[in-house]
Amino acid sequence: MSTAPTVADARPSPAGVSRSGLVYAVAAYGLWGFLPIYFIALAPTGPVEIVAWRILLSLVFCALLIAVTRSWRAFRALLRDRRVVLTMGAAGALIFVNWLTYVFATLNGQVVEAALGYFINPIVTVFLGVIVLRERLNATQWTAVGISIVAVVVLAVGYGQLPWIALVLAFSFGFYGLIKKRVGHRVDAVSGLTLETAWLAPFAAVLLVIVGATGAMTMGTAGVWHTVLLLAAGAVTAIPLLLFAAASRRLPLTYMGFIQYFAPFIQFLVGVVVLREPMPLERWIGFGLVWVALAVLTFDLLRGARARRAAAVEPV
């Protein structure tokens, strides 16, 4: 998927719900949801070449955005912060794993399993909070985690193996979110993606050299329309990020929490309805358990938000 900031990083707008914020959020997650169709349209390009071009062209696109918005001074200030630069390097490594796994899944008829990864990502994030940050969960949150573990077991039995694509996507993006939280709100979406792709750019260039040496390079060899689509990889990566950033400044956290499920839901529909991927009974049961776990987490989120609002209006 994309390098979307985690929902936990979104800032609620003091003005409340904004119609433009809703439009931006739905547009961002809608674009992420239809990413499988874009990657499939890039055939015969393989996942390694797609990800390598995505890294390099995202870096170019972000550099152009920084130049147009005259944000170089703020970006140079980030470069002088060694902690931020190193943190974004670690984030870049995780997002590379995430991108490569996602594109591989899309091109190999595993869009439904990729969608599963982003459905269970919020649950994995909660789980990582316990393991890594030593956070404490309430009974409702533990219930959601437990249901999700049962779901993975059901899916593993159905597949005959662990749903590794879903787990790699969920955990890579979960750790990515944790690492990004270390820099908090100091790094905006464009600057963050610029630093991440700058770290990855030399590796991406080497990958393209290797792809070219094996005779598998497709850039410029599969028609004009294919070349245009491949060159759009930078914009396809950055535009949803900008929409998300605009939405997060305008919408309360609760709304962003609901809308984040648009992307995996659309991916799920693309896999089942458009690509006709198989959905045996055990897969439906596993997905059903994941959706129940998400419903439990959503209930806990709403209850917590309601309690905070009530506490805010109580007289001191």
Residue 132, phi then psi, degrees to nearest 5: -90, -45
Residue 217, phi then psi, degrees to nearest 5: -65, 130
Residues of the chain with pLDDT under 50: 4-16, 316
- Distance separating alpha carbons of residues 218 and 204, to the nearest angstrom: 15
Alpha helices (H) along the chain: 19-33, 35-41, 47-68, 72-79, 82-107, 111-131, 139-159, 164-181, 189-213, 224-231, 233-248, 253-259, 262-269, 281-313
pLDDT at residue 241 in the model = 81
CB 102 within 8 A of CB 172: no
- Contacts of residue 186, defined as CB under 8 A and 6 or more positions apart, other chains included, come to 78, 81, 84
pLDDT at residue 8 in the model = 41
- Contacts of residue 127, defined as CB under 8 A and 6 or more positions apart, other chains included, come to 145, 174
pLDDT (tens digit, 9 = 90+) per residue, 23-35?
Answer: 888 898 899 999 9
- Distance separating alpha carbons of residues 186 and 75, to the nearest angstrom: 11
pLDDT at residue 11 in the model = 43
pLDDT at residue 1 in the model = 59
pLDDT at residue 13 in the model = 41
The residue extents of the domains of the chain are 18-313
pLDDT at residue 270 in the model = 92
251-254 LR contacts (CB < 8 Å, sep 24+): 251/10, 251/12, 251/13, 251/17, 251/18, 251/21, 251/22, 251/25, 252/12, 252/13, 252/16, 252/17, 253/7, 253/10, 253/12, 253/305, 254/301, 254/302, 254/305
The single-letter code of the amino acid at 220 is G
CB 244 within 8 A of CB 4: yes
- CA-to-CA dists, residue 49 to 100, 106, 213, 299, angstroms: 10, 14, 12, 42
CB atoms within 10 A of CB 291: 15
Judge if pTM exceeds 0.75: yes
